[in-house]
Amino acid sequence: MSIRINLDVMMAKRKVSLNELADKVGITQANLSILKNEKAKAIRFSTLEKLCEVLECQPGDLLENK
């Protein structure tokens, strides 16, 4: 897939750990690491919305087309 996920970059910028982010977003750590390692096949809008809320960014900061 050519869609890359820059979640780790955003997490480093905001200085949040995986555990903390999973707690705040309300998904399991396993699912979050699936997303972070680009193994996910789809992402729900609700998850994306919460991620953007917690990380205070736009969806475009998290997703990138290469």
Partner 1 sequence: MTKNGNLSAKTIYSLLSIALGMNIGLLLIIIFMLFSSFFSPGVIRYFSNIPVLINFNNGLGWKMQNGDLINMHGSLKLANSYYGINLLISICQMLILLGSVNCIILLRKIVNTVIAGDPFVPQNGKRLRIISLIIIFLPIIIQLNVWVATKQAISALQYPRWGIRFDFLDNSSLITYIVIGIFVFIVSEVFRIGISLKEEQELTV
Instruction: Indicate the residue among 2 and 30 with the shorter CB distance to partner 1.
Output: 30
Among 8, 45, 51, 52, residue whose Cα is nearest residue 27: 51
Site string for partner 1, 6-45 (x = CB under 8 A): ---------------------x---xx-xx---xxxxxx-
d(C-alpha 20, C-alpha 33), whole Å: 12
d(C-alpha 7, C-alpha 9), whole Å: 5
Instruction: Indicate the residue among 40 and 57 with the shorter CB distance to partner 1.
Output: 40
Query: Site residues (CB under 8 A) for partner 1?
Result: 27, 31-32, 34-35, 39-44, 47
